[in-house]
């Protein structure tokens, strides 16, 4: 049931998209993802931005190339 406290806690008005991870969610997820390799090509985008993009595509169903 949506209570005023739950709405305030789950509101994502400060984030650009509703699918973006909050700082608290990213803090839980970040240690589980691989660190950048010291060899090879450096990442062009931050891993958090890539992950937010993946979540956006999964939620909206838009084509990856439309991002």
Q: Is the pLDDT of residue 9 over 70?
A: no
Asked whether residue 14 is assigned to any structural domain, the reply reads: no
Residue 51 included in any domain: yes
Residue 12 lies in a domain: no
CB 15 within 8 A of CB 22: yes
Count of domains for the chain: 1
Answer whether residue 61 is part of any domain: yes
Long-range contacts of 57-60 (CB under 8 A, 24+ apart): 58/19, 59/18, 59/19, 60/19
Domain of 52?
A: 20-29+44-67
Q: Is the pLDDT of residue 64 over 80?
A: no
Per-residue confidence (pLDDT) for residue 29, from 0 to 100: 93
pLDDT tens string 26-50 = 999 999 988 888 898 888 888 998 8
In eight-state DSSP terms, residue 14 is T
Question: 67 lies in a domain?
Answer: yes
């Amino acid at each position: 049931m949506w209570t005023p406290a739950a709405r305030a806690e789950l509101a994502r008005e400060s984030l650009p998209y509703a699918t973006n991870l909050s700082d608290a969610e990213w803090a839980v997820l970040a240690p589980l993802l691989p660190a950048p390799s010291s060899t090879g090509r450096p990442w062009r985008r931050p891993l958090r931005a890539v992950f937010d993009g993946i979540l956006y595509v999964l939620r909206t169903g838009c084509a990856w190339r439309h991002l």
